[in-house]
Structure 1
Amino acid sequence: MVHDPVTLTGARVVTPDGVHRGRVRIEGGRIAALEPDSADTPSGEVRDLGGAWVAPGLVDVHVHGGAGHAFPDADPEGALATVRFNRSRGVTSMVGGLVAATPEDTVRQVAALAELCDAGELAGIYLEGPFIARSRCGAHDPDLLRDPDTAEFDAWLKAGRGHVRMITVAPELPGALDLIRAAASSGVVAAVGHTEASYETALEAVDAGATVATHIYNAMRPLGHRDPGPIAALLGDERVTVELILDNVHVHPGAAGLVFAAAGAERVALVTDAMSATGLGDGEYTLGDLRVRVSGGEARLVETGAIASSTIVLPRAVRNAVEGLGVGVPEAVRSASSVPAAALGLAGVGRVEVGAPADLLVLADDLSVAEVLYRGERVE
């Protein structure tokens, strides 16, 4: 496809290194230049944004579904609908998240998502279970949880054809540290989560190669001043990128503010952990094999009342960070784009820089998404 040149002028552009005030030149679906508005008049379409923010397309590395579909369904058409739903709302890169399932179902799910990765629709595959603690299972079926097994992990790698990007492991489980080492040596990010780990065990996991904290606070041994547990270990270690679900349900704003204060925006990755109900409204849904009831946008398991997933799309988390926590717009945007992309080694996404794909958002004054460009083309 031939793309006509487009230039966005009068913009405040969030780049990896700061804020560029001027214009963005797009050619062939890529960013061709970042220039001052005083540069020579460009050819092609020119649009004056009047000082609006231009952000990189957002990157959600922890999401399970949306628009009535769920990645664990292993339905390529449904998964693609979830991708397109998110893309139209500003999330231009996604990692398809799975939950605990049988070994056979997990391989089938990974293989199905690998097809979308091959097609460039998904940026990778994330397995949140099954190697997590029963006592901190959250919205995972406890009967499907099991101890870490490197042979099963190898089966995921084979089915995923190089697209498995991240797994969550409870490091206190038998064999967990060996699995974390195997993941790290295979180029797969190991995340610490759904865990009863002590402070010391969490640090052992990081020493073994874990580099991400799965939705900090949630499904973790709580923070205590004499028993700090995994939360203090993960927040305090500069090697760790910390996921934060900022829907104002999973984490109170007061606790969320402590995450930014302790880790700094450069180590906080905003995620949604969103489920199939996202974009649809209240009602009953499923997450894996578990029934979920959504009321007032809040998702909880029918059987236990435990918080399940969120029902937000990632730009909402950016707004919550700015409006509720006082995080600067550039920092909040990076926490939802370049930070998670770097944590998972996703090259060429989540950054506004010359040569990168022109995946861009234009943000209105209230930080709502006014326009989405994907590979330089408007997304309707």
Structure 2
Amino acid sequence: MILRGKVVVEDGVIADGVVTTDGDRISWVGSAAQYHGQVPLPEPSSSILLPGLIDLHCHGGAGAGFPNTDADGARQAADHHREHGTTGLLGSLVSAGEQDLLRQARILADLVERGELLGIHLEGPFISGARCGAQDPASVIPGDPDLFERICDAARGTVRSMTLAPETAHFGELLAAMRRRDVLPSLGHTDTDAATTSARIADAAGGPLTATHLFNAMPPLHHRAPGPVAAFLAAAGRGDIVVELIADGVHLAPETVSMVFDTVGPDQIVLVSDAMAAAGVTDGDYQLGPLNVRVAHGVARLATTDGSEGAIAGGTARLLDVVRTAVVDSGIRLVDAVASATRTPARLLGLESDRGTLAPGRRADIVVTDHQLRPRGVFVGGMPAETEGLAWKS
């Protein structure tokens, strides 16, 4: 297969580039002027070619939420995100009772074993009740290493990431268990201070570490009470942590997104969707774990009985939408926004030799967009997931 367009590679953009594939692998990447293959090139196009996107934080889409749905719904959500450019996805759960977590872990494990998900992300239940956001406070509990082990066992080793508050009980035991099981720790949903956060970051030294949706579900940065935000930004600047940003135009102001990119750079940022069941479908009423969510004008919030504005309850954008918003609204360079949605998450999951860049030998996960970063075609392992007016030859 031969694809032609503006190609986003690791160190920049090839204005008129070509990507060729052989089976499920990329075989060549370069400028059209340097192409010497046997198959004639397609005509020049306005398409943009990106590596397949990798979303580390996603609760669902297309009407189905990973914390609630059955196997068919989980597959529907995963398929929706794949068809919109997310070729690698962690299915995120939320704080819930033990039996609910065990059931959903078993369901999602089936999808991981079939290659439809990269793994499971546990967002809770060992988080702060004061900063639980759109999660059920009744389901939030102190850190319980034995429960963590039971969930991992039910998931048959497919848990890849877990969000926990730095101040939760038994943090050290949980961290040791996560490292032993190759689960990426992610600090967030916290009400603690900068000193405690910095101490936990130091405890986690020697392995990958992330901060769950920086700024959201944590105390705001204040010059006399810097809180976890200051600790996370300082650690990201040192290269000790990677911070998640939900750059969807709802969770963060555009200037906040550009400030973080300017401060720590794309290698220490992972763009995420935090998408819930309403991603890709209409406004209306949905579920996020045990809680009711109302989506109006594309913004998901917890439903309230008195009609007041509830907490933001996840996102309704796909990861490609987040990349586009970062570029268009925050002025992030295309190559940097793409790196934070491809190369950086691939590195965090230990997949950098196989995914995350358009380079020979990498898996042929390729997203083709128009000049406005709207999807035209998606290839997963060299096979089309969705194709719409795409210039390519095979």
TM-score above 0.5? yes
Contact between 1:181 and 1:208, CA under 8 Å: does it hold in 2? no
2:95 touches 2:139 (CA, 8 Å); kept in 1?
Answer: yes
Determine the structure 1 residue equivalent to 2:290.
Answer: 289
Q: 1:355 and 1:12 mapped to 2: Cα distance?
A: 20
For residue 127 of structure 1, the aligned residue among 111, 116, 122 is 122
- Please tell me the residue identity of whatever aligns with 2:300: A
1:267-286, aligned counterparts within 5 Å?
267-286=268-287
Match of 1:336 in 2: 341
Runs of 4+ in 1 over 6 A off after TM superposition: none
Residue 144 (structure 1) shift: 0.6
Kindly indicate whether residue 241 of structure 2 is the aligned counterpart of residue 244 of structure 1.
no
Tell whether 2:306 aligns with 1:299. Answer: no
Normalised by the size of structure 2, how large is the TM-score?
0.91
Deviations 1:238-291 (A, max 9, x none): 211110111111111122222212221221111111110111111111111100
Which residue of 2 is the match for residue 70 of structure 1?
65
Structure 1 letter corresponding to 2:90: V
Instruction: Report if the CA contact (8 A) 1:215-1:245 is conserved.
Output: yes
Task: Measure, in 1, the Cα distance between the counterparts of 2:220 and 2:294.
Answer: 26
- Aligned residues: CA RMSD: 1.7
Q: Does residue 229 of structure 1 match 2:227?
A: yes
Question: Which among 351, 361, 366 is matched to residue 360 of structure 1?
Answer: 366
Task: Tell me if structure 1 keeps the 8 A contact 2:127–2:190.
Answer: yes
How many matched pairs? 374
Deviation at 1:350, TM superposition (A): 2.2
The answer (yes or no) to whether the contact 1:247–1:312 under 8 Å persists in 2 is yes
**Contact 1:123/1:346 (CA < 8 Å) preserved in 2?**
no
SS state at 1:72 partner:
coil
User: Is 1:12 equivalent to 2:6 in the alignment?
Assistant: yes
Whole-angstrom CA distance in 1 between matches of 2:36 and 2:255: 48
Displacement of 1:313? 0.7
Partner Cα separation in structure 2 for residue 181 and residue 208 of structure 1? 10
Whole-Å Cα distance in 2 between the matches of residues 183 and 212 of structure 1?
Answer: 13
Aligned twin of 2:390: none
1:55 matched residue in structure 2: 50
Q: Judge conservation of contact 1:93–1:123 (CA < 8 Å) in 2.
A: yes
Shift of 1:44: 4.7
- The equivalences for 1:248-263 within 5 A come to 248-263=249-264
1:30 corresponds in structure 2 to 25
**How far apart, in 2, do the equivalents of 1:363 and 1:40 lie?**
22
| 1:171–1:177 CA contact under 8 A, matched in 2 | no
Residue 91 of structure 2 aligns to a residue whose secondary structure is strand
Report the Cα distance in structure 2 between the residues aligned to 1:42 and 1:67, rounded to whole angstroms: 40
List alignment gaps of at least 5 residues for structure 2.
387-394
Aligned positions of 1:307-322 closer than 5 A: 307-322=312-327
Counterpart-to-counterpart distance in 1, 2:86 and 2:322? 12
Contact 1:246 1:270 in 2 (8 A): yes
Which residues of structure 1 form unaligned runs of 5+?
Answer: 1-5
TM-score normalised to the size of structure 1?
A: 0.94
In 2: Cα distance, 1:246 partner to 1:168 partner = 19
1: CA distance between counterparts of 2:92 and 2:385? 23
Decide which of 193, 218, 224 is 2:216's aligned counterpart: 218
For 2:259 and 2:55, the matched residues in 1 are separated by 22
Which residue identity lines up with residue 316 of structure 1 in the other structure? D
The percent identity for this pair of structures is: 40
Tell me what 1:370 maps to. Answer: 376
